[in-house]
Amino acid sequence: MMRYTTWNLHEKINISSENSIIMASDLQKRKKEWLEKLKRDGKLRDPTEDHRIGLRALQHRVRREIIKFIGYGKRSFEEIAEKFNLSEAQARMHLDLLEEALFVESRVENGKKYYYLTPRGEAYLENVEWR
C-alpha cells in the first residue's frame, strides 16, 4: 500500500493536470479538424437553426441515452436498435436526428455501419450528462 506524502500527492496532481492539459489539447485539435470538415462538407449552419436542431434532438430521452451508449465506444446500428428495443424505422429516425444535429456520425467499416460521437457529442456528455 502506498502512502501519500505531500510530495507524492503533489506529484500525482501534477501528472493528472498534465494529462488533462494533453487531453484538452487533443480535444481542441479534434474539434478544429471536425469544424474544418463540416465547412468542407457544407454542414455548417446558421447558429439559430443549429440550436433549434440540436435542442430538438435532445428532447427525447432515448436519443440522450443513445448518445451515452455510443460514448462508451463505436456502436453498430443493430447494437443500438437492440439495446433500446427499437424497430429499424425507430432506430433510423433517432440516429438520423442525432446525425443531423451533429452529435453522432456514421462510418461504414467492413460493410457494417457504425456510429461514433462527434466532438459535439463528447462535449454534451462531458458538460451536461456526466455532471
pLDDT in tens, 85-119: 999 999 999 999 999 999 999 999 999 999 999 98
pLDDT at 32 over 80: no
Are residues 52 and 28 part of one domain? Answer: no
Residues 61 and 113 in one domain: yes
With 70 as the cut, is the pLDDT of residue 12 above it? no
Are 31 and 78 members of one domain? no
pLDDT value of position 54: 82
Asked whether residue 53 carries a pLDDT value surpassing 70, the answer given is yes
Q: Which residues pair with 128 in a beta bridge?
A: none
Neighbour count for residue 51 (Cβ, 10 Å): 12
Q: CATH number of the domain that 60 lies in?
A: 1.10.10.10
Q: Closest Cα partner for 120 from 102, 108, 106?
A: 102
The reply to whether 51 and 40 lie within a common domain is no
Same domain? For 15 and 65 the reply is no
Q: How many domains does the chain have?
A: 2
Domain around 16: 1-44
Cα-flanking dihedrals φ and ψ of residue 122, to 5°? -65, -40
Residue 45 has a pLDDT of: 63
Residue 117: per-residue pLDDT: 94
pLDDT above 60 (res 72): yes
CB atoms near residue 26 (< 10 Å): 10
- The pLDDT of 24-36, averaged and rounded, is 71
Q: What is the mean pLDDT of residues 41-56?
A: 74
